[in-house]
């Protein structure tokens, strides 16, 4: 299994902090955000390589981080050559870009690098090993929060029945978060999805496409998952993680 870390977004809501510096390397509790995720990736025995995809502006920062990190699993940084928010490839575009650049022919774990979460990715990988089908991470949330997130409807076997972004009337009680595992056989479907002209941006759009043509399953985690997308959110998680430390 390979891991793809999505780090090519421009985090415009966090300007000026991220105008010339990647969000994933901002410190929370005295450590870069991405380091918390890396700790969890390193516990998954199946993963033998980590690919980090970023933009031209942030590439030197991530290359410096990867070199200094000297991680137990090798980290390769890919530059998708974009330079601003308008010409970005989008999350799904970057997944496909990395698959092609690295010539990946394995299962992939795909992660948004700016999320902070409590649960162990190793448990998610064990869930996937039983399903051997595309898997996503979900959490039960209250109804008002669901209206601002991607919402999945599930059957008794945790199979996805529907997926909807920011619904006015949520059909399910689970919100989807940006952690995914895709079998190697599904990688060709990602290219087909893009070739058909579908949205290259939010990774949840790929889930919406896949569940209609194959079984997709959801791993329900407990604990917190923070999207560090605003100055307020950054301040809140920094305080929380500083207190934990």
Percent with pLDDT over 90 in the chain: 82
Q: Work out the average pLDDT over 192-199.
A: 95
Task: Summarize pLDDT for 175-186 with one digit per residue, the tens.
Answer: 999 999 999 999
Q: Which residue has the tokens 């090798």?
A: 74
For residues 112 and 203, the answer to whether their CB atoms sit within 8 Å is yes
For residues 233 and 130, the answer to whether their CB atoms sit within 8 Å is no
Check residue 245 and give its pLDDT. Answer: 58
pLDDT at 244 over 80: no
Break the chain into its structural domains and give their ranges.
2-244
pLDDT at 187 over 80: yes
pLDDT at 195 over 80: yes
2-244 maps to CATH 3.20.20.70: no
* Predicted TM-score (pTM) of this structure: 0.96
pLDDT at 202 over 90: no
Task: Summarize pLDDT for 57-86 with one digit per residue, the tens.
Answer: 999 999 999 999 999 999 999 999 999 888
Task: Summarize pLDDT for 36-56 with one digit per residue, the tens.
Answer: 999 999 999 999 999 999 999
H helix or E strand, kind and range, residue 146? helix 143-146
Strands 2-7 and 49-54: parallel
> Which residues on neighbouring strands pair with residue 93, listed in sequence order?
none
Check residue 136 and give its pLDDT. Answer: 97
Check residue 19 and give its pLDDT. Answer: 92
pLDDT at 34 over 90: yes
Task: Summarize pLDDT for 105-162 with one digit per residue, the tens.
Answer: 999 999 998 889 999 999 999 999 999 999 999 999 999 989 988 899 999 999 999 9
- Mean pLDDT, all residues of the chain: 94
Percent with pLDDT over 70 in the chain: 100
For residues 6 and 53, the answer to whether their CB atoms sit within 8 Å is yes
What's the Cα-to-Cα distance from 46 to each of 84, 151, 183, 186, rounded to whole Å?
A: 35, 29, 13, 18
Buried b (16+ CB within 10 A) or exposed e, 60-70: ebbbebbeeee
């Amino acid at each position: 299994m390979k891991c793809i870390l999505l780090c090519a977004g421009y985090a415009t809501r966090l300007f000026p902090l991220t105008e010339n510096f990647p969000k994933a390397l901002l410190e929370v509790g005295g450590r870069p955000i991405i380091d918390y995720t890396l700790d969890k990736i390193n516990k998954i025995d199946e993963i033998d390589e980590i690919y980090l995809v970023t933009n031209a502006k942030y590439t030197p920062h991530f290359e410096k981080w990867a070199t200094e990190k000297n991680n137990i699993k090798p980290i390769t940084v890919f530059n998708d050559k974009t330079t601003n928010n308008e010409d970005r490839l989008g999350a799904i575009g970057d997944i496909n870009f990395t698959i092609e650049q690295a010539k990946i022919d394995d299962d992939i774990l795909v992660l948004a690098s700016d999320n902070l979460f409590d649960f162990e990715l190793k448990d998610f990988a064990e869930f996937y090993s039983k399903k051997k089908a595309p898997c996503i991470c979900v959490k039960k949330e209250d109804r008002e929060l669901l209206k601002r997130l991607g919402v999945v409807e599930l059957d008794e076997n945790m199979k996805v029945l529907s997926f909807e972004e920011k619904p006015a009337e949520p059909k399910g009680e689970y919100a989807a978060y940006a952690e995914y595992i895709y079998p190697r056989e599904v990688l060709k479907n990602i290219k087909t999805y893009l070739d058909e002209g579908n949205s290259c941006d939010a990774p949840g759009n790929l889930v919406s496409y896949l569940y209609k043509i194959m079984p997709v399953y959801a791993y329900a985690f407990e604990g917190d998952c923070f999207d560090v997308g605003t100055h307020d959110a950054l301040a809140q998680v920094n305080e929380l993680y500083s207190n934990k430390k």
